[in-house]
Amino acid sequence: QVQLVEAGGGMVQAGGSLRLSCAVSGRTFSYYLMGWFRQAPGKAREFVALMSWSGANTMYSDSVKGRFTISRDNAQNTMYLQMNSLKTEDTAVYYCAGDIKTIATASANYWGKGTLVTVSS
CA-to-CA distance for 91 and 63, rounded, in angstroms? Answer: 13
Across residues 102-110, what is the average pLDDT? 95
Question: Could you write out the DSSP letters of every residue in 45-71?
Answer: -EEEEEEETTSS-EEE-TTTTTTEEEE
pLDDT in tens, 11-52: 999 999 999 999 999 988 888 999 999 999 999 999 999 999
pLDDT in tens, 47-73: 999 999 888 899 999 999 999 999 998
The whole-number pLDDT of residue 109 equals 96
The whole-number pLDDT of residue 56 equals 82
